[in-house]
Amino acid sequence: MKNLLITLMATLLTCLSTTGIAQSKKKNQKKDIATVAIDSAKWRADHYIENRDSAYADPRVGLKKLMGGNRRFIEGKSIRPRQDSLALHSTEGGQKPYAIIVGCSDSRVPNEIIFDQGVGDLFIVRTAGQVMAQASYGSIEFATLVLGSKLIVVLGHQKCGAVDAAVKRPDNPPGHIVTLINAIKPAAEKSKYMAGDRLDNAIRQNVIEQVNELRDLEPVLAKKYQNGETLIVGAVYNLHSGKVEFLPETLMNLPEKRK
């Protein structure tokens, strides 16, 4: 009986010791995490952080900020900035979004999430196939002139239903859907002669056409783009990977800001 008690006591002490070691390891791990202080230089580098005020002042920094946010999203490092009640209250008196996103209405493309941005960061104009009309133009010009946004991103996405409809051309589309098809038709026609998947090509071409449309839009955007004051670029979101690919065709030969 005495030997049994000794054995039981030894087993209990071993268990307690093991638990203590495990708890100690967890505490040390927490300390290790804490040593990389949030918002330290290392933390900012590891999370691809760009300064918010710099992004608002310089569209090239804004572009890097969007790219960094999407990289955090696909790597599982999202920090979900300015998404609390404090952020809501701080923007109550006004807004200064650093980027305008002209995107598709598709529910699978949540802009603040895929770019890991928060309240007041993005001014978003959304229609199916990101097709633009007078109200869209006015909204974009408002954000540019009144709110001071200097970066415009036309954001298409993989498997876009509106572009697919323009490629397939269904007979007698109901209601006003025909207006979407007609607007995307030029891009769909060009995709006929491209190598590769026709829908993917049409989606990319539609974004490129819309970027050029905004770059030439008088009287506000054309001048601001030509002066290098406003950057207008295009991108496509991949529904599978979560990656936003900024299209090289829209990043080449961007105008420098005139002094």
Encode pLDDT of 183-232 as tens digits.
Answer: 999 999 999 999 999 999 999 999 999 999 999 999 999 999 999 999 99
Mean pLDDT is lowest, of 29-43, 46-60, 91-105, for 29-43
Domain spans, the chain: 42-251
Tokens of 137: 């133009």
SS3 232: strand
User: How many Å apart are CA 72 and CA 155, to the nearest integer?
Assistant: 18
Q: What would the mean pLDDT of 62-73 be, rounded to a whole number? A: 98
Q: How large a percentage of the chain has pLDDT more than 90?
A: 76
CATH ID of 42-251, from 1.20.1280.290, 3.30.160.70, 3.30.499.10, 3.40.1050.10: 3.40.1050.10
Whether the model clears a pTM of 0.75, i.e. scores above it, the answer is yes
